[in-house]
Structure 1
């Protein structure tokens, strides 16, 4: 796909969304410090994209239990998770799971989360995510404080212990919804470059049919972009 300035067409706004693994572009996705893993994309991040506040701050949380009896140990861990689910709404947070695509943890599915071996004998752990929305006036630091307060407030069960693990990350809901805004930014940049090079040159943009990508751009912000290629060419 090419885009020639002078007659710039926002093609990305009308190109059908490409289906990615697990429908990532239409789901809530986790944004780490690195760009999304994709073998068939260039490693070069374009200069132009859409920078915006993420939708959620996300903290990985681990519940660990070391009760000797395996059945009782599992019951205690899941019961503490159920307590967390029950108290999440009042604390202004949400529970979820997933490594890339985020899905809600509810009282209907919480026992589907798998217990894992811990480093100690007769000990197991269960990992999930706690989300705090990044609404107006709420930055990542405020969200972290809210999540930490929630973790401390969850009522323990037996020998189960709940604590944060890892660093705070971010998530964006349905990144493909921003294709049009990203295309607008690319088109504006292409027009500016075309004007700088004069009437004898045009700008071609390729790759706007690719899926939206994402990367972390600050404490509370993400960069959404399409890995396009921009080329200055003489007019024929």
Structure 2
């Protein structure tokens, strides 16, 4: 299977790959003129590309006409995840990208165990993790990780513009299958869904009320309590299915 790389420098039947990916292809993979790779423009369009030359820290290609990425789901999912401790957010991002999530927004809430610390530096690492996961699993877009929201009020203020907002609550709620079946995208566009899951301590009752007032649909995930790194992946799997 050809290696996959992301670049925005694609035009008029030609493309250029720069930076660390160009170094990897030229120096690590020892690619040669005539070798073929798959290039993605980050907007769910892929190109079969043939190497035509090597420059200083760049690789040049001839590309065939682009085609839609088969790896992108028919829904655009944003995951708002309560900030967990240790490296659990990295796991959520890595596996969430594989499952088809496009946007990740961590947040702090009343029962979060973790506290804000060097978030700009962490955010760079989180986006690198998303980038590498996207290449590994064959995504046609580059999922992004936002800086964390400071509290649950900020989460509720960010919920406009979605066709469906799912608030995952340990006290239960409406059937997920029914909510997904009833939701239709506006004007034939891709369905936009937001999923809200909690950190280790779950959600306070007043946070659940805030989510409902903001238009979120409260859902339960069955009779068992799922860990904070398990719940988002379970909901993502259900939505994609």
**Same fold flag (TM > 0.5):** no
Q: What TM-score comes out, normalization by structure 1 length?
A: 0.22
Of the two, which has the highest radius of gyration?
1
- The structure whose RCO (Cα within 8 Å, separation 6+) is larger is 1
